[in-house]
Each structure stands twice: as C-alpha cells, then as structure tokens.
Amino acid sequence: MITGPLTVTLAAACGLIVANLYYAQPLIGLIGPDLGLPVAAQGLVVTLAQIGYGLGLALVVPLGDLLENRRLICTILCLTAIALAAATLAPTAPVFLAACLAIGISSVVAQILVPFAAHLAPDARRGRVVGNVMSGLLLGILLARPVASLIAHDAGWRPVFGISAAAMLILSLVLSRSLPRRLPEHKGSYLSLLHSLWILFISNPTLRRRATCHAALFAGFSLFWTGVPLLLASPVFGYTQRGIAFFALAGAAGAIAAPVAGRFADRGLTRAGMGIAMLIVALSFLLAHVAGMGEGSVLLLVAAAILLDLGVSSNLVLSQRVIYSIDAAARSRLNGVFMAIFFTGGAIGSALASWSYASGGWPLLSWIGFAFGILALILYGLEILGARKAR
C-alpha cells in the first residue's frame, strides 16, 4: 500500500530526474563557446540527450519487469549522478557530449518509478496515485529550463549539473530507505524481455491508440515550449532570458491538473476526460495565436500556456491509467513503449518549431500546434466510432 508521503517522494523524484533532460537546452549559448563546440554542432547537446533517452526507454526501462525494483532504481540514480558530475567537470566538448548521452540513458529511471507507484496503489486509487506522481514529472519538465537559466545567470552553467548530481545521490539514499522491495514476476531472459516489447506493441491496439493520440498532443506541447521563447524575445514582447524563465514558471501551473485527471480516471470518466483534454489543447493554440498578434498580450499567452499544460498533463495521466490496466506484470514495458512513441511526437514538434517560426512567424507555429490538437481529436473520434460499430 502506498502512503501519502511516499507518493510525494515519488513525485518529487520523477520531477528531479526528468529535469536532467532539459537543463542544457537554454544553456547551449553558454556551453558551446566555453567548450569550443562549433555553432553548427551545438544542437548535439540536446540531440544526444534525446537519443540517450530513447535508448534507455528501449533497453533500460524493461528491466523494471525483470530485476528487483528498489535496487535497480538506486543503482541507476548513482549512474545518473556520475554522468552529471562528468558534465560538470567536462574539459572538452567530446567529454560533455558523451555525458549528455549517458544522462539521457540513465534519466529513464523516472519511467521505472511511475509503474512502480502503480504497482503499490490499490486499483480504486491507481489513477489518483499515478496522477500525483505524474504531476511531479511534468513540473520537472516545465521547470527545468527556467531553473537552469536562473542558476546560470548568476553562477554559470557548470553548477547546474553539479547541483543535480548531488541531488541524484541524495535521492538514491532517500529511495533506498523509503521504497519497499518489489521482485517482478517475469522469469525469462533479458533478450526475451526486449522481444516482448514488439509483441506488446502489435498485440495491444489500446496501447497504440493511446500512444498515438498523446504523441500528437506532446508534439504540440514541444512545439509551443520550443517556439515561445523566440516570440517572447522578439520585439513583440522584448523579454530578457530572465523574463522568459519567469514566463515558464507561470505556465507550469497547468501541471496541477494531473492529480485531478487521476481522480476522473478512478471514477470511470476516462473517455470523456480524454476528449475534453484534447479539445483544451486545440483551443489553447487558438488563444496563443491571438495572444501573439499585434502588440501581443502576455496575460493571454500565459493563459494559453496553462491551458496547454493542463490538457497535455490530463491526457497523459488518463492514458497511463488505461495502459497500466492492460497487464500488471508488464507495466514497465508498456510504459516504455508508450513513452517512446509519444516522445517521438515531442521530437517532431521541437524540430518543427524553429522552422515554422522562421518561415511564418508565430501565426504559422500556432496554427501547426492547433492542427496537432485537432489531429488527436480526429484519431480519438475515429476510435470511438470504431468501437460503436463493433458493438
């Protein structure tokens, strides 16, 4: 049975861990010149972390269904701390880039913690617990960039990674004392475990549908948060780096929807909740479109950011509540497949952000974001129609 304090601990852990993926993004302009990294290659800082995360989802997260979870989690956190320390002390660009890859791979431990929490929760409260834990993870995603910017503004970029390395070591000690032991039921080999990822994907239409719909929403999410600093720094708003950081802090308020979405799921309102969440995402981009026009309205833009985060976080929790019900013995693998698919959507959104802003400014970017929200709604609508015809 999971307690309230343990739920808070897991939520904080997920947020601190996943933030490691995003600290470097706003600091590239500082890291590149300091390490002698050519401008054309500075994007590798982000790309290698994302590649590492993808590798970790495929190769590390499934271990949650094979090895004792508490020891696995604490061991990986220690490796994360080593990778972050390497980034802190990196004397050259190749060393730092290798550390980025390792940080990405090891940070997937957050995706072992979420199904761990689902295992500990009774069925009647599973959605609520997952929602509370996911709210921490989402806050980590949203707050990492502004926190990194604020620290680097006063102390440079290296302390950002050094502080996180210390946090991972402390977190490992805390979780080693607070987490119960959990030995998974899977008795096969590691290779059979990896093969089962493909089997889970092709044999579970529910998993494919939830992952595809959320990939569309997360593409819009990444598009917005990659593109909005460009708008805020433009003459329309004229924000400094610190101002952009405070904007991101305000927008993070939307993550409070995750626990509420979990309660919706526990009451059997998953289908309606998903539709509402997708509609909110689409409408948030219409509001963002208006907010970025003419003189610009920062209040409207903050409202759009909050609504976007609210819709995406709600759909994420509702989707996870569904996929964790497919097979209790395969929750880590199901979560790994789900995350790999929707993070691919996020990578697509991030890649489109710079191009769309350069090609058509904020109007084009916001219309593309709206299209992602509508795409998710269409996919979900087709799923519902198909289910009705099958009756």
> Could you give the CA distance from residue 80 to residue 83 in angstroms, rounded to a whole number?
5
**Model pLDDT for residues 299-322, shown as the tens digit of each residue:** 999 999 989 988 998 888 888 888
Residue 222 scores a pLDDT above 90: no
Query: Does residue 132 contact residue 259 with C-beta atoms inside 8 Å?
Result: yes
The reply to whether domains 1-184 and 186-391 share a CATH topology is yes
pLDDT band at 351 (very low <50, low <70, confident <90, very high): confident
Tokens encoding 238:
């004229």
Is 0.75 surpassed by the pTM of this model? yes
Per-domain boundaries in the chain: 1-184, 186-391
> Could you give the CA distance from residue 174 to residue 178 in angstroms, rounded to a whole number?
6
Give the model's pLDDT for residue 106.
Answer: 95
Residue 1 scores a pLDDT above 90: no
Give the model's pLDDT for residue 197.
Answer: 83
SS3 171: helix
> Could you give the CA distance from residue 385 to residue 383 in angstroms, rounded to a whole number?
5
Query: Does residue 17 contact residue 80 with C-beta atoms inside 8 Å?
Result: yes
**Model pLDDT for residues 172-210, shown as the tens digit of each residue:** 999 999 999 888 877 778 888 888 888 888 988 888 999
Residue of higher predicted confidence among 58 and 107:
107
Q: Given its phi and psi angles, is residue 36 left (phi above 0), alpha (psi -120 to 50 degrees) or beta?
A: left
Sign of the CA dihedral running 184, 190, 193, 194? positive
What is the CATH code for 186-391? 1.20.1250.20
Give the model's pLDDT for residue 223.
Answer: 87
pLDDT band at 40 (very low <50, low <70, confident <90, very high): low
At which residue do the structure tokens 């706003």 appear? Answer: 26
Query: Does residue 308 contact residue 254 with C-beta atoms inside 8 Å?
Result: yes
Q: Does domain 1-184 have CATH number 1.20.1250.20?
A: yes
> Could you give the CA distance from residue 181 to residue 69 in angstroms, rounded to a whole number?
7
Average pLDDT for 164-171: 97
Sign of the CA dihedral running 73, 78, 82, 84? positive
**Model pLDDT for residues 373-384, shown as the tens digit of each residue:** 999 999 998 888
Q: Taking the CB of residue 122, how many other CB atoms lie within 10 A of it?
A: 9
